[in-house]
Chains A and B, each alone.
Chain A
Amino acid sequence: DVLMTQSPLSLPVTYGESASMSCRSTESLLYSDGNHYMDWYLQKPGQSPQLLVYFASSRASGVSDRFNGSGAGTDFTLTIREVEAEDVGIYYCMQSLYTPYTFGQGTKLEIK
C-alpha cells in the first residue's frame, strides 16, 4: 500500500496567521494524464470529512481561496491563509492513484 505521511501531527496557529502542513507519499502520485491524484480533506469536530483540494491543487466547489494546495511527485503542501476559527479540525491527505486509496494520519489544526 502507498504510505501517506503527514507533518506536523499538531499545528497550533494564531488567528489571522498562515498555516502550512505537509504530506509525503511513498510513490509518485503523478499519472500520465498530467494530474497528481492527491486530495486534501478537512474533518471538523463531530462532522464527516469534506473535500478541500483535489488533483493536488484544484479547490473543490465552495472552498475558500484561503486554501491552497501545491506540490508534485511525492511531496505536497496545504497552506491556509489567514486562519479562521472555522478552520479548526483534522486535515487528511489521501492518494487515489493506487488502490487501496490511502489516507495520512492527519494534521490537527488548533488555535493558540
Chain B
Amino acid sequence: VQLQESGPGLVKPSETLSLTCTVSGDSLSGHFWSWIRQPPGKTLEWLGVVNDRSSDYSPSMQTRLTISSDASKNQFSLHLNSVTAADTALYFCARTTVGGHHDSWGQGILVTVSS
C-alpha cells in the first residue's frame, strides 16, 4: 500500500487548510485512516481517524477539524479551519489498523501558516 499527501504548502492565518491523501494498493473500505502531524523539531501529534462509517478526532482539534473519505477516489481528506502559526507542521496520512497502530505512512507534506 502507498499513501501520498497533496495540498498547498502555504496557508494564510485564519484560512482553511485542506489536504488530501491518495491511497494506492489498498481499498479505503474496511480500514481506518489517520492524519498525524509533526511541528518542526517536535514530536508527533495524532489528529483524527476516519473509516467507512465514522470519524473520531483529537479533542484539541475537534472544533476546527473535519476528516472525510471518498471511496470512489480512494482518497481521504483533512480540513482544518481558522489556522494559526501553531498549525505549521509536517502532515502525514497513515493507514491505521483495528489495533490502533499505523502500519503505512505517506511521505508527509510540509504546511506553513504565514501571511
Contact = CB atoms under 8 A, between A and B. Distances in A.
Chain A interface main SS type: loop
Chain B interface main SS type: loop
Nearest to A53: B101
B106 interface: yes
Contacts of B102: 39, 41, 49, 51
B60 interface: yes
Contact of B43 (A39, A51, A104): A104
A99 B44 contact: no
Contacts of B56: 99
A61 B103 CA distance: 9
Tell which of A50, A51, A101 has the most Cβ of chain B within 10 Å. A101
A48 interface: yes
A82 B58 CA distance: 38
Contacts of A102: 46
Interface residues of B, number: 19
B106 A48 contact: yes
B100 A101 contact: yes
Contacts of A100: 46, 58-60
Given A35-B99, A54-B99, A101-B100, A48 B43 contact: no
Contacts of A11: none
B101 A51 contact: yes
Interface stretch (A15-23, A70-78, A90-98): A90-98
Contact of B46 (A51, A101, A106): A101
Query: On chain A, which size bracket covers the interface?
Result: 20 to 34
Nearest to A39: B101
Contacts of B92: 48-49
B82 interface: no
B58 A103 contact: no
11 contacts: A35-B99, A39-B100, A47-B107, A49-B44, A55-B99, A60-B103, A92-B43, A96-B99, A99-B58, A100-B59, A101-B46
Interface of B: 43-46, 56, 58-60, 92, 97, 99-103, 105-108
Chain A to chain B: the 4 pairs with minimum beta-carbon distance, closest first: A96-B100, A100-B58, A54-B101, A101-B46
